[in-house]
Structure 1
Amino acid sequence: MPIEFQIDDGVAVITINRPEARNAIDRETALAVEAAAQQVNTDPAIRCAVITGAGGNFCAGMDLKAFLRGEVVRLPQTGFAGMTQSDLQKPFIAAVEGYALAGGFEIMLACDMVVAGSTAKFGLTEVKRGLVANAGGLVRLPRQMPVKLAAEFVLTGEIYPVERLADAGLVNRVVEEGQALAEAIKLAQVIAANGPMAVAVSRRVLKESLEWSEAELFERQFEITAPVFASADAREGAAAFAEKRKPVWKGC
């Protein structure tokens, strides 16, 4: 199977399962990731998702052998690996060990958060193969780190240690080698325990407000967030706090 997919206590884990190829993406894998991401979107039992790789590496990008065979790994609606242009409607955390290169780096950029092992290595290496990082590297990276650093990553194609990315704000947590998945699941469980409507709306504002002018920030924010304060979950959250119990969310 090109991926493994598991759900436990509101957290889905997608594992790219091609360790013999450093989890490089061929068409079969892209289609499988696309289907898994769609299940995350539509299954109400899933509150948060983690994506990782098997065998000690996250993802080495596009399978160049598959590319030479003519396989298309950029899907029409969801982009590279069925992920980089997907409308991900729930929080995604990348759990990175080993290499996250080229398209693998761009899968990571599509996620909301990143947990990485201490020996993880990252790079947008496309230019070294005469290609370009058009699965998100060129457009997402300068929105997630200083532009001059993004230019270095994109134009040199060099591979960098995790400390460089953490210093630039691209990695949330650095853990001991081999512990990235466990830590990412712990982080996902914290998110999954929160009000699903509140998480979804907060995440929407975080993303969309980057494109808003300063003059419209609060007006547009209040328009989107107002339904949360009138929701059953808001009342449940307050009642659970007062009664010193865990809330039972309805998502509305």
Structure 2
Amino acid sequence: MKPTAQVRTETIGACLLITIDRPAARNAVNAAVATGLAAALDELEAAPDLRIGVLAGTQGVFSAGMDLKAALAGESPEVPGRGFGGLTQAETTKPLIAAVEGWAMGGGFELALGCDLIVAAADAKFGLPEVKRGLIAAGGGVIRLPKRIPHHLAMELLLSGEPISGERAARLGIANRVVPAGDAVAAALQWAQRLAENAPLALAAVKKVVRAADGAPESDAFAAQARELAGLMASADVREGMTAFAEHRTPVWQGK
């Protein structure tokens, strides 16, 4: 995938800040944004020194979702094999944190749900208004939201299409942390640097096992976990982690 002007990346320590940069369209997702996000994820995956990704929008808006005008003109906001925005079905090995300021509507909300963690500004707005346009939240909303929060609460958001605040999103368990307006990106980056102190192979293994266990029989989930654990136990990083603990020092991860 090639980067596009609508998506910017910036390396900050061990973190890649990925910013949707279409402020005039409230960071709505068109084909260029989808391609740009897919390229940014490729950049994150390919760089051994990058451990965590943070996804954000510009000028106080996360994303208004699918660009309806572009869609009517025949543009696709999806990337084959990677889903809406090149992200919602992408199987990344490195953790992603959504830093949500302002509106995260429709596909914007689904981009956040496609991340592993969510930091929300207190006045952020999360909503899945697709039913108001004759559609459903097909970028992961109708599939993921009922798995993240109780059934009736998920159905409230999916059937009403009405938005909720960042504070309510946290109470429902959608957002991990709520911060004052304007602080979401800084808070997400700070959290990312803390997560990056952990072993990269272990972070990737957590994500892989969680995916494998989703909807699988318990025996299959434990089998998948055993395979990942065997790989970890044979890694240099496990030896380094145990040695560093015994020597009362910070481990130096090699990612192998």
Query: What TM bracket, shorter-length normalisation?
Result: over 0.9
For the residues of structure 2 that align with 1:148 and 1:93, how far apart are their CA atoms? Answer: 26
1:127 alignment partner in structure 2:
131
- Alpha-carbon distance in structure 2 between the residues aligned to 1:220 and 1:135: 26
Q: Are the counterparts in 1 of residues 11 and 17 from structure 2 also a CA contact under 8 Å?
A: yes
Question: Deviation digits for residues 97-120 of structure 1, max 9, x if unmatched?
Answer: 000000000001100000001100
2-structure distance, mates of 1:88, 1:36: 11
Three-state SS of the structure 2 residue aligned to 1:13 is strand
| 1:82 aligns to 2:86 (yes or no) | yes
Which one of the candidate residues 243, 248, 252 is aligned to 1:248? 252
Q: Give SS of 1:202's match.
A: helix
Q: How many residues align?
A: 252
**Segments of 4+ moved more than 4 angstroms:** none
Q: Is the contact made by 2:61 and 2:101 (CA closer than 8 Å) also made in structure 1?
A: yes
* Identity %, equivalent residues: 46
Note if 1:201 corresponds to 2:190.
Answer: no
Q: How much does 1:211 deviate? A: 2.2
Instruction: Out of 71-80 and 12-21, give the one that drifted further.
Output: 71-80
Q: Distance in 1 between matches of 2:181 and 2:168?
A: 16
2:42 is the counterpart of 1:73: no
- Alignment-derived partner of residue 100 in structure 1: 104
RMSD: 1.4
Q: Deviations over 1:69-114 (max 9, x none)?
A: 2211112221111111112221000000000000000001100000
Shift in Å, 1:215: 4.3
Deviations 1:37-92 (A, max 9, x none): 11112221211100000000100001111122221111222111111111222100
Q: Within 1, Cα distance between the matches of 2:253 and 2:247?
A: 15
Instruction: Decide which moves more: 112-121 or 79-88.
Output: 79-88
Structure 1 residue runs without a partner (length 5+): none
Indicate the residue corresponding to 1:42 in structure 2.
Answer: 46
Q: TM-score, normalised by structure 2?
A: 0.94
How many Å separate the matches in 2 of 1:210 and 1:68? 35
Residues 1:55 and 2:55 aligned together? no
Identify which range, 120-129 or 196-205, moves more after superposition.
196-205
TM-score (norm 1): 0.95
How much does 1:5 deviate? 0.3
2:130 maps to 1:115? no
| In structure 2, C-alpha distance between the alignment counterparts of 1:215 and 1:28, rounded to whole Å | 42
Q: Which amino acid aligns with 2:31?
A: R
Matched, 1:147 2:148: no
Q: 1:77 to 1:212 in 2, by over 3 A?
A: closer
